Structure 1
């Protein structure tokens, strides 16, 4: 007597449930001749006739019914074993939880993650895309191993490392009156104009408002407040109004003249991009590798 393999037992159970070798073969994604051959091998190995074949289909013999019931118990144990093995493997696989602000996540992180995957293909990576304030909170409370933010000032309770430098620009639709200006805007003119902005907590918004505050300009209420960089960019392209966005987000639009850059005098819209992690911890493994990749980003 030859011990049966799990797939042959699974085939027998499907024949019992579906009443057809052909239907069971379809379920297992094998050909009907292959399924019939496997059933015959199972019968020979056990020394029992398990299936009665007819033109109307097939039914299990009394012995086949008993063996199919035993097979269900065996398969349940096999499935439990494999689920347990998968859980054990997941515990030992390298895991990296990353939280990144919108601009970083949309325009820089994909290339970083691609390089990390090539270097450490076994790493299971989770990326949460949110605003800079939420990134800092996730890192502080241990919900993310590594974060990337755009805010000009370092948040409390985290270790921080400079990664790259970004520049923000005022952009308008080509038909906007500012697109025809022969001089740069003043900070006061920019502050007095309702803009399309990101939500509170966004590094893009904080950089703009801090730069205006440093020159004594108080911004008016926004024209629109949106929760993603892409939504702000799309609104400008659609003609809704002006915005201040990273050159990472609008570089292609500027080159293809879908939007127009408007100069501003006396306003520093450069900003650092930082990596952050929980204060007091030393980065190791995939987190340290991703930080090293990010730090090679040209300014």
Structure 2
């Protein structure tokens, strides 16, 4: 039976949202920066106070109960509202003061952050960035649950509850073994992908989805490409250096990933395929003007570091 005097705490709601999004207690605890026993205790206290079982946990899986599903939108709205209160309370200092939790997708973070973090320190000296590198879907979940404040990722996105602002665009290039017949070639048609052993990233990476879309445009096979696949772009490039295939990369990765003499670059003909990177916020996030200034810094750094085109 529910305790009529019980009022859930913001942390208890964050715990519930993190477990419901991750469906994994250890991952949820890591996301929130707390121990797994503390997370389990917070969830148990929430369930006891509400008089409801929100999550079913077994040795093999974690499931959200029907009651949990009914409460999810209210918990999410409460966390979002409290974050908006905190943003508004920042007053004249605005949101770019103090700690800022920044989510970045893995195919952007290694190439943008070395230039971005010093630039942020110079432009916003009172800001303390906290970086979370993760795949797109989990960054969106983190935004919704309030675990991160903003995300830098490929746009557009059709995810509910978030709003995206394009920041910069960059072309794609093809990395091949140095001895490959396409090494150093320019003006390649997309149709060249039909006959190439194309290395793909794992499911969940937006770069994989973009590569699959390029293959579909020219009726290149997507399945049956081979057994090699990579969890990171750097691993895919190392496979290219080992002669296991070729891979599509954003322009930002070309310089850092071609320092290996076993790697060469081939480039596509106009219109060159590419991607757009944007700033993604919760729709309820306050301080949009200050975040717009943050976005301008990101676009400036991308243009300086790897020649991206501001949008």
Match of residue 203 from structure 2: 200
Shift of 1:181: 7.4
Describe the shift of the 1:220–1:142 C-alpha distance in structure 2 as closer, same or farther (beyond 3 A). Answer: same
Measure, in 2, the Cα distance between the counterparts of 1:252 and 1:126: 23
Describe the shift of the 1:256–1:209 C-alpha distance in structure 2 as closer, same or farther (beyond 3 A). Answer: same
Under a length normalisation based on structure 1, what TM-score does the superposition of the two structures give?
0.59
Match of residue 273 from structure 1: 277
Aligned residues: 206
Match of residue 107 from structure 2: 103
- The answer to whether the Cα contact below 8 Å between 1:185 and 1:262 also exists between their aligned partners in 2 is no
2:246 maps to 1:242: yes
Shift of 1:250: 1.7
Match of residue 139 from structure 1: 143
Under a length normalisation based on structure 2, what TM-score does the superposition of the two structures give?
0.57
2:144 maps to 1:128: no
1:165 counterpart SS class = strand
- The answer to whether the Cα contact below 8 Å between 2:98 and 2:126 also exists between their aligned partners in 1 is yes
Shift of 1:190: 1.3
Measure, in 2, the Cα distance between the counterparts of 1:257 and 1:291: 35
Root-mean-square deviation over aligned CA pairs: 3.1
Shift of 1:220: 2.9
Describe the shift of the 1:222–1:216 C-alpha distance in structure 2 as closer, same or farther (beyond 3 A). Answer: closer
Shift of 1:267: 7.2
Describe the shift of the 1:196–1:218 C-alpha distance in structure 2 as closer, same or farther (beyond 3 A). Answer: closer
Describe the shift of the 1:295–1:258 C-alpha distance in structure 2 as closer, same or farther (beyond 3 A). Answer: same
Shift of 1:257: 5.4
- The answer to whether the Cα contact below 8 Å between 2:183 and 2:266 also exists between their aligned partners in 1 is yes
- The answer to whether the Cα contact below 8 Å between 2:236 and 2:247 also exists between their aligned partners in 1 is yes
Greater C-alpha Rg: 1
Describe the shift of the 1:182–1:285 C-alpha distance in structure 2 as closer, same or farther (beyond 3 A). Answer: closer
Measure, in 2, the Cα distance between the counterparts of 1:152 and 1:100: 15
Measure, in 1, the Cα distance between the counterparts of 2:106 and 2:284: 26
Shift of 1:169: 1.1
- The answer to whether the Cα contact below 8 Å between 2:175 and 2:237 also exists between their aligned partners in 1 is no
Gaps of 5+ in 1: 1-92
2:214 maps to 1:211: yes
1:235 counterpart SS class = helix
Gaps of 5+ in 2: 1-96, 304-308
